[in-house]
């Protein structure tokens, strides 16, 4: 690494590092230089493409990413954050949070926005932009931020309650149809039986007359 300037070493914080690489095999990527690094006993990997390669942008963090105290990444370099005209500092967040891209404090767990000064053990942290508002400080419902994140859906339980009634209705209809045809069959059998009885009676009467 000899010959590297202080600036080039600092700029490395704007590149992406893939950790952990647990294989013993070497990585082979077309048109890319593979860089291995031992960080705290873990093998990490970085890929370096040619400057004009389309995939080169994938290996760098977004502009505005913090790379040091009052330093951010810009065009693959770690530079002063002054160009952002950014007036949010750690002091504003009372050292219990970090500034987000909207210049507001994103508080650590247990601290309330907007300035992370008040402590509340049951509070999840967050910022005024993420919807985590102290309920006593704003005129919104307690679960307002949850409702914004998860839109309520209309309940469908009445439809499911109708299913058993529909099944019972179908069974009743089937029984009524069966009873109807059974009665019709019985009436037909009774009619045939009466006809046979009447025919036999006439025959008996005729036989008596002939005798």
Number of structural domains the chain divides into: 3
Q: Which of 84, 116, 143 is the last residue of a domain?
A: 84
Using one digit for the tens of pLDDT, what is the confidence trace for 130-150?
876 665 544 334 444 444 444
* Residue-level pLDDT at 79: 92
Residue 1 in any domain: the answer is no
Rounded Cα distance, 103 and 107, in Å: 12
Cα radius of gyration rounded to whole Å, the chain? 42
Q: Which of 68, 84, 100 is the last residue of a domain?
A: 84
- Pair 17, 59 in one domain: yes
- Pair 79, 28 in one domain: yes
Q: How many CB atoms lie within 10 A of CB 111?
A: 23
- Pair 13, 78 in one domain: yes
Rounded Cα distance, 105 and 114, in Å: 6
Strand ranges (E), 8-166: 18-19, 32-39, 42-49, 66-68, 71-74, 77-80, 97-99, 105-107
Token pair, residue 57, equals 């942008």
Using one digit for the tens of pLDDT, what is the confidence trace for 70-119?
888 998 899 988 888 877 777 889 999 888 878 888 899 999 988 999 98
Residue 145 in any domain: the answer is yes
What's the mean per-residue pLDDT of the chain? Answer: 76
Which residue reads 């009524």 in tokens? 176
- Pair 58, 114 in one domain: no
Residue 138 in any domain: the answer is yes
- Pair 139, 202 in one domain: no
Rounded Cα distance, 94 and 117, in Å: 6
What pTM value is reported for the model? Answer: 0.41
Residue 146 in any domain: the answer is yes
Residue 208 in any domain: the answer is yes
Print the domain residue range for 52. 6-84
- Pair 60, 118 in one domain: no
């Amino acid at each position: 690494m000899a010959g590297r300037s202080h600036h080039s070493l600092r700029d490395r914080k704007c590149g992406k590092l893939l950790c952990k690489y647990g294989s013993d095999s070497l990585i082979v990527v077309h048109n890319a230089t593979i860089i291995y690094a031992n960080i705290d006993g873990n093998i990490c990997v970085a890929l370096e493409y040619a400057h004009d390669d389309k995939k080169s942008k994938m290996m760098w963090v977004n502009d505005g990413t913090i790379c040091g105290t009052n330093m951010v990444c810009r065009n693959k370099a770690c530079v002063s954050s002054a160009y952002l005209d950014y007036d949010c500092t750690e002091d504003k967040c009372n050292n219990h949070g970090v500034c987000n891209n909207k210049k507001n404090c994103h508080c650590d767990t247990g601290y309330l926005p907007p300035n992370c000064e008040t402590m509340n053990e049951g509070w999840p942290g967050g910022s005024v932009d993420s919807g985590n508002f102290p309920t006593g400080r704003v005129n919104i419902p307690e679960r307002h931020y949850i409702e914004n994140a998860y839109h309520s859906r209309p309940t469908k339980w009445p439809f499911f309650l109708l299913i058993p009634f529909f099944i019972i209705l179908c069974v009743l209809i089937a029984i009524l149809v069966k009873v109807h045809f059974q009665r019709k069959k019985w009436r037909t059998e009774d009619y045939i039986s009466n006809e046979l009885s009447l025919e036999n009676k006439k025959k008996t009467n005729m036989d008596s007359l002939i005798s």
